[in-house]
Amino acid sequence: MKSFLEDLYYGKLYPNEQIVSDDPKYRALNRQISEMMRMWRQKLSEEDFRQLEAMLDLQGESNSIHNMETFVQGFKLGASMMIEVLDEKE
């Protein structure tokens, strides 16, 4: 059985791809997004819709950067907590 550390070393960990929300609101929101995209595809010209998609892609990239920073900050906070917990001085 491979260990977590081996997977980390070989670059086999993809936490952002392993997260699947079980919040019922998540699926409902994604359905709404899909429905709205279909609506805008019908209402907008092809060029306008391409521009909308490009803007949404940029928003997705921005969200991805924010999510990564949040992950890193959470990891640092967790590591700091473990250092404090394991510190024998207190």
Q: Tell me the pLDDT tens digit for each residue of 23-50.
A: 999 999 999 999 999 999 999 999 999 9
Residue 18 has pLDDT above 90, yes or no: no
Residue 2 has pLDDT above 80, yes or no: no
What is the C-alpha to C-alpha distance for residues 15 and 68, in angstroms, rounded to an integer? 10
Measure CA 11 to chain center.
Answer: 18
Quote the pLDDT of residue 1: 59
Instruction: Using a pLDDT cut of 70, give the percent of the chain over it.
Output: 97
Residue type, 17: E
Print burial letters for 22-35: b (CB count within 10 Å at least 16), e (below 16): eeeeeeeeeeeeee
Residue 78 has pLDDT above 70, yes or no: yes
